[in-house]
Structure 1
Amino acid sequence: MTSDATQPAPAPADSERGVRSAVVTGASTGIGEATVRALAAQGWRVFAVARRAERLERLAEETGAIPFPADIVEDDDVARLVAEVESRGGIDTLVNIAGGARGTDWVAEAKTEDWEWMLRVNVVGTMKITRAFLPMLRAHGRGTVLNLTSVAGLVSYEGGGGYNAAKFAEHGMTRALRLEEAEHNVRVIEVMPGLVKTEEFSLMRLGGNAEAAEKVYEGVEEPLTAEDVADVVRYAVTVPHHVNLDDIVIRPVAQAAAHKLIRRG
């Protein structure tokens, strides 16, 4: 029998590992920005990643986050980010928020450029940054990847074909990643929001048409906010590491299902 002296020491609890640290993508607006604020408020060291440098600088001034302007679909940007994070001691958590939708065309009228953009940002970008950070998360011993997807990755709807395709793909990728990384003690979490009223999501999807974007939420009492979703993300990555919240669906009460949204007035 092996003596106690030769037994490997148990992995230290999360609370014994010092400051928690994360990369959060899509950090310049909406759920990504709210997630940076939520984690920073709990003392996390947060690398806030997005393309818009000015917004990141303001967020850094307000939260103490480390701003890093980058486009997650660009290999050089991802490599620079990994190098910067390594130089600052690494991370234990990757929070993939970056993504988005473009257009509401039916498949018969689909715009190729919109579909390519959605697949590139939601799927390929998430893959690239996850692939780049997995060695670091494995080496940490208790790494976490959280992917923010959507209920659009569970149920399709007319006019959502391109976004459905992207989010179904990201959902499938997330499930495969969970199976592949369990042996490395990397937990993989998926958060799937329903209707969330944010500053830019519907505005961007509808080509900048503010009136049309506002109609998306018209009559809906208390749609989710970015802060609601960020609070769920914060909880999911903060619970003890042996707890894996695999799939979290979060919707406003008014959205009982993808096909049932209560509008009043």
Structure 2
Amino acid sequence: MGIELNTPETADLGRALAALREWQSDDAPMQLHPGDLGWFWRFGADATAAAVRTWSQDGRVLAFGFLDGDDVLRVTTAPERLHDAALAERMAADIADPERGVLPAGKVNVEVPTGAALHDHLAAIGWGTDEAWTPLRRDLTAPVEDPGLRIETAGPGQAELRAGLHRSAFEGSTFSADHWRAMASGPEYADARCLIGYDGPDAVAAVTVWSAGPGRPGIIEPMGVHADHRGRGHGKAVCVAAAAALRDLGASSALVCTPSTLTGAVATYRSAGFEPLPERLDRHREG
């Protein structure tokens, strides 16, 4: 049987997510993580399923795509298929043809793990490179230092506070308590934590961390500092707390990725013990 492109039904999404979890490894380049889907779950289970594309053969998922908005596709593959030319050729053809329902016509971006064969196949059909991203990693073998802030784990009673911190940190965000509750109801949140950092009585920063299971890397998605409390080291502190939470969840390392142009964000993560990895470039079609 050949390689098949599918959009899983909501009820079938668990199998695809299980494959994505299994692919997470400290030996792999920075890639799509189950936590990315967990964060998107704030829009509900049906919306999350509708944003997923899988490439399968003989009932086995070989590659996973996630539409993170209308014009951005984030993809990864099973580790042993990262350099598979036949899979990459099929994925490139599906991605490039709007009628196949992966990406629309016009300007679009594809996030591909560094070194994947898909880069070469998209380049061969005229896709260039676009925005540079900086992945960063912190090893969690050793215990994590005290963050220097009081840290609380957010539950339903703090949903409004958590959402308000996010809206303050990210101008234009519409994240709400209802979004938080939808996210927390998703299956990936069983291995996730929302943390709130306090400076005295004031809630000053928040972060959500996602584990992919013991012995696998976890990610930070998202982290933000309240607009009224910036420039005081709270970003560093809450990132340290995030690393500690992931270690408690059994993660082998903590990962985060940010646009390279956000030099302040890169500096914040580095100050919290995260080491930069080689830059990653999106693939881009002008239209």
TM-score (norm 1): 0.32
TM-score (norm 2): 0.30
Structure number with the higher strand fraction is: 2
Q: Taking CA–CA contacts closer than 8 Å with sequence separation of 6 or more, which of the two structures ends up with the larger relative contact order? A: 2
Structure number with the higher helix fraction is: 1
